[in-house]
């Protein structure tokens, strides 16, 4: 019988989760310091403003959390035979894609929701995902300003806890009628095709939040029911989707392409192109069906 692993056989899950908690809350300390213009902990330098000749608080925060997470995963865990893919390291000139071929891989987004971070909003997050053979197994979404650490383990379940380790219950909404569902949408990515699709689907209400992790957390809390991503000139990347995907699936929700196929990670360009739909799962198939009908009739070239 095949065992569906969520961590390598040599790794003890409880030990791994304890380390992820430490790294997550350390990341929260760093991001919140930069967000408030304070001196960051752990020896990271206070950011310069762009006017002072620096790269600004976002770049400084991204790189600090990136360094913290990668060094923690490399140095504080005995198991070493996994890749680490981060949004930040993928930008480096020395990055070599063909070296990232191991079955186990961490996918990191040190700061998801950059514009919310800059605007002083609470809707930014840290994404940490562990994938195995291109499929998500563990998803961590940290929302520092809400004091929420969301943890999802495929086949086990999902929960969120505060800095004191107190676990909290959550529940999806009971909304089933598509016309009553609450969509959670991006504040800054509203291309015309998406607007037309949403007009066709006729959801009951739309809430706008920046970070994908924060969007999915709002679905788990029952505040929203569905999230739709539609790539345009650019596509979201693995680090945008992997942790939220693992989290909502572990909780019993669904995250797929509009045609119902699964998201695959570490594929071409690390892109997640097309129409992606995450929901509480109770009418996911119906949403996907209506979306595919829209593309077939109104935007057939989008499916090519």
pTM (2 d.p.): 0.93
Greater confidence, 59 or 97? 59
Residues 156 and 186 in one domain: no
Residue 248 lies in domain? 178-303
pLDDT tens digits, one per residue of 191-235: 788 999 999 999 999 999 989 999 999 999 999 999 999 987 788
pLDDT of residue 215: 97
Residues 51 and 145 in one domain: yes
pLDDT tens digits, one per residue of 124-177: 999 999 999 999 999 999 999 999 999 999 999 999 999 999 999 899 999 999
**Residue 228 · residue 183 · CB < 8 Å:** yes
Domain assignment present for residue 5? The answer is no
Task: Count the neighbouring beta carbons within 10 Å of the beta carbon of residue 296.
Answer: 11
pLDDT of residue 97: 62
Q: Could you tell me where the DSSP H helices lie in 97-209?
A: 114-118, 192-201
Residues 27 and 129 in one domain: yes
Of 64-73, 191-200, 235-244, give the lowest mean pLDDT range.
191-200
Q: Give the three-state DSSP class for 245.
A: helix
> What is the CATH classification number for the domain harbouring 134?
3.30.540.10
Q: Sheet of 254-257: strands edge to edge?
A: 205-208, 182-185, 226-230, 275-279, 254-257
Q: Give the three-state DSSP class for 139.
A: strand
Total domains in the chain come to 2
Block residue for tokens 């409880």: 14
Q: Which of 215, 234, 239 minimizes the C-alpha distance to 225?
A: 215
Q: How big is the chain, counted in residues?
A: 304
């Amino acid at each position: 019988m095949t065992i569906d692993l969520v961590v390598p056989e040599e790794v003890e899950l409880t030990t791994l989760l304890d380390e992820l908690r430490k790294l997550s809350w350390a990341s929260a300390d760093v991001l919140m310091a930069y967000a408030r213009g304070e001196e960051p902990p752990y020896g990271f330098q206070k950011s310069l403003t762009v006017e002072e000749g620096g790269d600004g608080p976002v770049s400084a925060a991204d790189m600090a959390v990136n360094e913290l997470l990668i060094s923690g995963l490399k140095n504080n865990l005995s198991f070493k035979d996994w890749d680490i893919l981060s949004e930040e390291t993928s930008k480096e000139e020395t990055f070599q894609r063909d070296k990232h071929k191991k079955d186990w891989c961490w996918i990191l987004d040190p700061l998801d929701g950059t514009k919310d971070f800059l605007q002083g909003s609470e809707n930014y997050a840290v994404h940490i995902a562990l994938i195995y053979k291109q499929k998500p197994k563990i998803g961590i979404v940290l929302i520092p300003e809400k004091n929420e650490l969301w943890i999802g383990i495929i086949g086990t379940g999902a929960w969120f806890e505060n800095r004191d380790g107190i676990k909290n219950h959550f529940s999806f909404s009971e909304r089933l009628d598509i016309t009553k569902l609450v969509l959670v949408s991006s504040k800054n990515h509203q291309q015309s095709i998406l607007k037309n699709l949403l007009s066709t689907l006729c959801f009951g209400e739309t809430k706008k939040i920046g970070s994908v992790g924060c969007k999915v957390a709002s679905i788990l809390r029952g505040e929203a029911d569905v999230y739709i991503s539609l790539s345009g000139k650019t596509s979201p990347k693995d680090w945008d989707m992997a942790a939220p995907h693992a989290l909502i699936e572990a909780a019993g929700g669904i995250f797929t392409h509009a045609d119902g196929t699964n998201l695959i990670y570490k594929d071409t360009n690390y892109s997640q192109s097309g129409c992606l739909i995450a929901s509480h799962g109770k009418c996911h198939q119906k949403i996907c069906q209506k979306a595919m009908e829209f593309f077939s009739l109104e935007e057939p070239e989008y499916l090519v």
